[in-house]
Chain A
Amino acid sequence: GAGVSQSPSNKVTEKGKDVELRCDPISGHTALYWYRQSLGQGLEFLIYFQGNSAPDKSGLPSDRFSAERTGGSVSTLTIQRTQQEDSAVYLCASSFPGIDEQYFGPGTRLTVT
């Protein structure tokens, strides 16, 4: 079956621009997670969705970062006024509710110039 998909696979943007990253989870997975993988910070949690609600946003690094999920499916992570330190690979994962095994997408590599 189809796995978690993310788009775009690569994004290069200029400092100060806004970017949107998309995640399409596995069908039936109501839990969705965003993580960031960067050289300095390793892999870190950003935000968790259960359905369309985000009960845990504790990992978002600043108010420039936001995310939403619609229809209990696709999620969009938005970074406003991008900075060079936002350069990283953004990973999305999904799982069945109450199950702690997550399935990861291939990631979006964001480069801020």
Chain B
Amino acid sequence: AQSVTQLDSHVSVSEGTPVLLRCNYSSSYSPSLFWYVQHPNKGLQLLLKYTSAATLVKGINGFEAEFKKSETSFHLTKPSAHMSDAAEYFCVVSEASGTYKYIFGTGTRLKVLA
């Protein structure tokens, strides 16, 4: 069975400093992995996805993530946080059995301090 673990439920950073949101996955085969962002009272927006092409994936708003098979990790990073990055972030693995249903991590709430 597939699963994802987000290692931090809350992360606080100062504006202009780097962001690191950690995600580990478990999968018996090569997974598709995603990061989604959810701003307060808004829907889920796709930040980026990994689907076995390049291991370093670039997404929107300056975010990127690196797929590391040896570490079963897919951490999300951004070089410089902006106030507008404050939101909840979800790491997701897609079940490749044919339904492609999503299995979500528990989320990381990012706080950006002025």
Q: Do A and B come from one complex?
A: yes
Q: Of the 9-residue stretches A11-19, A62-70, A94-102, which lies at the interface with chain B?
A: A94-102
CB pair A43–B99 under 8 Å, yes or no, is no
Select which of A33, A95, A100 is within 8 A of B51 by beta carbon: A100
Q: Within 8 Å CB of B42, what residues of A?
A: 106
Say yes or no: is A107 at the interface (Cβ < 8 Å to chain B).
Answer: yes
**Whole-angstrom distance between the Cβ of B61 and the nearest chain A Cβ:** 17
For chain B, residues 70 to 113, give those with C-beta under 8 angstroms from any C-beta of chain A.
90, 94, 96, 99-107
Point out the residues of chain A lying under 8 angstroms from B107, CB to CB.
42-43
A43-B104 contact, Cβ under 8 Å, with A91-B44, A107-B43: yes
Interface residues of A in 75-102 (CB under 8 A from B): 91, 93, 95, 98-102
Kindly report which residue of chain A lies nearest to residue B45, judged by CB atoms. Answer: A104
Instruction: Kindly state the separation between the CA atoms of A48 and B101 in the bound complex, as whole angstroms.
Output: 7
State which residues 2-53 of B face A: CB under 8 Å.
32, 34, 36, 42-46, 49, 51
A-B contact count (CB 8 A): 49
Q: Which of these, B34, B43, B49, B102, contacts A45 with CB under 8 Å?
A: B102
Complex: chain B residue closest to A46, CB-CB: B101
> What sequence of 0s and 1s flags, for each residue 18-54 of chain A, a beta carbon within 8 Å of any chain B beta carbon?
0000000000000101010000001111001000000
Q: Chain A's nearest CB lies how many Å from the CB of B34?
A: 8
Complex Cα gap A103–B36 (Å): 10
Q: Provide the residues of chain B in CB contact with A35, threshold 8 Å.
A: 102, 104
Using CB atoms, name the residue of chain A closest to B32: A100
What's the least CB distance linking A77 to chain B, in Å? Answer: 15
Smallest CB separation, B33 vs chain A (Å) = 10
CB-CB under 8 A from A102, the residues of chain B are: 100, 102
Residues of A in contact with B (beta carbons under 8 Å apart): 31, 33, 35, 42-45, 48, 55-56, 59, 91, 93, 95, 98-107
